[in-house]
Structure 1
Amino acid sequence: MSLKFYYDIFSQPSRAVLLLLKLNKIPFESKKINLLKGEHFSEEYAKINPFQKVPVIVHGDFALFESVAILRYLCREFEVADHWYPKDSKAQAKVDEYVEWQHIEIRANLVNYFRTKFLLPVVTGRPADGKKVIVYEKKVTDILNKLEETWLTERQYLGGDKVSIADLLGACELEQLRMAGYNPRDNRPKVSAWLNKLKEELNPHYEEVHSLVSHIAEKHKGVPPSSPDKL
Structure 2
Amino acid sequence: MKLYSVSDGPPSLAVRQALQFLNIPFELINVDFGAGDHMTDEYAQKNPQKEIPVLDDNGFLLGESNAILQYICDKYKPDSELYPKDPQVRSIVNHRLCFNLSTYYKYISEYTMAPIFFDYQRTPLGLKKVHIALDVFNTYLTKLGKKYAAADNLTIADFPLITATMCLEAIAFDFSSYKMVSKWYATFKSEYPKLWEIAAVGMNEITAFEKNPPDLSHMEHPIHPVRKNVK
Decide whether the 8 Å contact of 1:12 with 1:172 is kept in 2. yes
TM-score (norm: length of structure 1)? 0.84
Q: Which residue of 2 aligns with 1:88?
A: 86
| Counterpart-to-counterpart distance in 2, 1:67 and 1:152 | 26
Structure 1: gaps (5+ residues)? 122-127
What is the SS of the residue equivalent to 1:36? coil
| Counterpart-to-counterpart distance in 2, 1:107 and 1:215 | 18
Q: Which residue of 1 aligns with 2:20?
A: 22
What is the SS of the residue equivalent to 1:30? strand
Q: How does 1:7-156 map to 2 (within 5 A)?
A: 7-79=5-77, 82-120=80-118, 129=121, 132-153=122-143, 154-156=145-147
Decide whether the 8 Å contact of 2:17 with 2:198 is kept in 1. no
What is the SS of the residue equivalent to 2:16? helix
Structure 2: gaps (5+ residues)? 217-229
TM-fit CA distance, 1:6? 0.5
Residue 189 (str. 1) matches residue 174 (str. 2): no
| Counterpart-to-counterpart distance in 1, 2:10 and 2:89 | 25
Residue 161 (str. 1) matches residue 159 (str. 2): no
Look up the equivalent residue of 1:77 and give its one-letter code: K
Cα deviation code 1:120-157 (max 9, x no counterpart): 25xxxxxx53xx52210111012102211333442211
TM-fit CA distance, 1:93? 1.0
- Of residues 193, 198, 202, the one that matches 1:208 is 198
Decide whether the 8 Å contact of 1:6 with 1:31 is kept in 2. yes
Relative to 1, partners in 2 of residues 1:212 and 1:78: Cα closer, same or farther, differing over 3 Å?
A: same
| Counterpart-to-counterpart distance in 2, 1:89 and 1:120 | 40
| Counterpart-to-counterpart distance in 1, 2:114 and 2:197 | 26
Give the count of matched residue pairs.
Answer: 216
Relative to 1, partners in 2 of residues 1:27 and 1:69: Cα closer, same or farther, differing over 3 Å?
A: same
Higher alpha-carbon deviation: 64-73 or 146-155: 146-155
What is the SS of the residue equivalent to 1:208? helix
Decide whether the 8 Å contact of 2:4 with 2:29 is kept in 1. yes
Higher alpha-carbon deviation: 100-109 or 160-169: 100-109
Look up the equivalent residue of 2:152 and give its one-letter code: D
Q: Which residue of 2 aligns with 1:125?
A: none
TM-fit CA distance, 1:45? 0.9
TM-score (norm: length of structure 2)? 0.84
What is the SS of the residue equivalent to 2:81? helix
What is the SS of the residue equivalent to 1:84? coil
